[in-house]
Amino acid sequence: MVQPRENEDYLVSLKAKRFSLYVFLVVSFMLFAAWSSGFIVYTASGADKGLKTLLPNTFIYSTLVILISSFSIHLSHRAAKVGDFLRQKIWLGTTIILGCLFFVLQYMAWMELANRGVLFINNNASQSFIYVFVWAHQAHIFAGIIVLLNALFKANDKQPLIKNNFRMELATIFWHFLDILWIYIYVFLLLNQ
């Protein structure tokens, strides 16, 4: 039987984990904001006049996929709150599949850019920013998929519901952040193409 003191310690550790996630999200946001500022300053200096390329249409499809995945993680989180592990797993699995599809669509976009001659290292350094933004976001997506897999494999009725709900809460917050971050990146790149 769990003692009251152990419950209090556990709740304190949950607050610390949530705070750590928020710190990570703020740091990630600041990193992308710094790159955005660097891009604006670089292009304003006259060295390059923007991206000088159209973004691949694949970015539109990947945006739709990540928006749908945000909805599926929401449904998984709702199922977790009521202890419906089957629905939680189904929606988590759906979110993971959509996250992997997003990853593949991004790869296809890179290939399209490369085929058009927009390479990471080229004469227009502004175009390199596309890769910086997208690759950094992909690294976050990869981490997000690992977080989702962890939540999927640990979703069962053999542990306290509070642990499952907390794991789902953190996974949901992180995944929604990735969704918002991608929309920011995509709109920023669209406005500067």
Domains contained in the chain, CATH given: 31-191 (1.20.120.80)
Question: Residue 123: enclosing H or E segment and its boundaries?
Answer: none
Q: Helix, strand or coil for residue 7?
A: helix
Tell me what percent of the chain is helix, strand and coil, each rounded to the nearest 5. 80, 0, 20
pLDDT of residue 171: 96
In tens digits, what is the pLDDT along the chain, a chain of 193 residues? 445 565 666 667 788 889 999 999 999 999 999 999 988 888 777 766 666 778 889 999 999 999 999 999 999 999 999 989 999 999 999 999 999 999 999 999 988 988 887 776 777 777 788 888 999 999 999 999 999 999 999 888 777 788 889 999 999 999 999 999 999 999 998 888 7
